[in-house]
Amino acid sequence: MDITLKVNGTPRAVDVDPRMSLLDLLRERLGLIGAKKGCDHGQCGACTVIIDGRRANACLALAVAVDGSEVTTVEGLAEGDDLHPLQEAFIEHDAFQCGYCTPGQLCSAVGMLGEPGPSAVTGDLVVDPDLTPEEIRERMSGNLCRCGAYVNIVSAIGEAAP
């Protein structure tokens, strides 16, 4: 099936198998290996990308379902040679070891910082909460890291958050 989508600002027209996920489209057809396949079931977050401004698991979206969408992957976060502040902070805080969950953590963090409203750990549901470490941990818990870099991930995001 023919679809068109914008990936990291570039329009792409592809003929896809209707069974193909967005994740496999990125990795196997478009040469964008940044989004990782950790579980293919929406359980680990390694494939997190930003679809039309919202973070999402690329393994749970069929490619045909994102026809016409704008997708940002980890390859699209830096501006040329200038890394995104979150990317810089991840390096500085050693917020990864093997690096396999990292693209998903970064895209998730970018998406998370743009999400207003309370979370499950917010006390006052009416005002937007401060981005405390507890809020970061709660909002980043869809992205597993088996190397156990969580405390460094939280400090990196805390530093890079506007």
Partner 1 sequence: MNRIEGRVKVTGLATYAAEYPIESVAYAYPVQSLVAKGRVVRVHDAEAREMPGVLAVLSCADPPRLAEDADPELALFQSGDVAYRGQIVAAVVADTYENARAAAAAVRVEYDPDDHDVTLRTGHPGFYRPDVVNPNYPADTVKGDVEAGLAGAAVSVDVTYSTPVLHNNPMEPHAAMAVWDPEGRLLVYDSTQGASPDRDTIAQTLGLPREDVRVVSRHVGGGFGSKGSTRPHAVLAALAARAAGRPVKIALTRHQMFDVTGYRTPTIQRLRLGADAGGRLTAVEHLAYEQTSTLVEFAEQTATPARVMYATPALRTAHRLVRLDVATPSWMRAPGECPGMYALESAMDELACALGMDPVELRVVNDADAEPESGLPFSSRNLVLCLREGARRFGWRDRDPEPGVRREGEWLVGTGVAASTYPARRRPATAFAFVRDDDYVVQVAAADIGTGARTALTRIAAETLGVAPGRVHLELGDSDLPDAPVAGGSMGTSSWGSAVVRACEELKEDGKEGRADTTDEIKGDAKLARHAFGAQFAEVRVSSVTGEIRVPRLLGVFAAGRIVDGKLARSQFIGGMTMGLGMALMEETLTDEEFGGFLRRDLAQYHVPACADVPHVEAVWLDEQDGELNPMGSKGIGEIGIVGTAAAIGNAVHHATGHRVRELPITPGSILSRF
Residues that bind partner 1 (CB under 8 A): 17, 19-20, 24, 27-28, 31-41, 43-44, 46, 73-75, 77-78, 83, 87, 90-92, 94, 96-103, 106, 121, 133-134, 136-138, 140-154
Rounded to a whole number of angstroms, the minimum distance from the CB of residue 87 to partner 1 is: 4
Closest CA to 74 of 48, 37, 44: 48
DSSP code string of 19-53:
T-BHHHIIIIIS----S--S-SSSSS-TTEEEETT
By beta-carbon proximity to partner 1, the closer residue of 98 and 127 is 98
Q: Which is nearer to partner 1, 44 or 51 (CB)?
A: 44
CA distance 86 to 12: 27
Nearest to 110 by CA among 32, 6, 5, 8: 8
CB of 137 to partner 1, least distance (A): 5
Cβ 97 to partner 1, closest distance in Å? 3
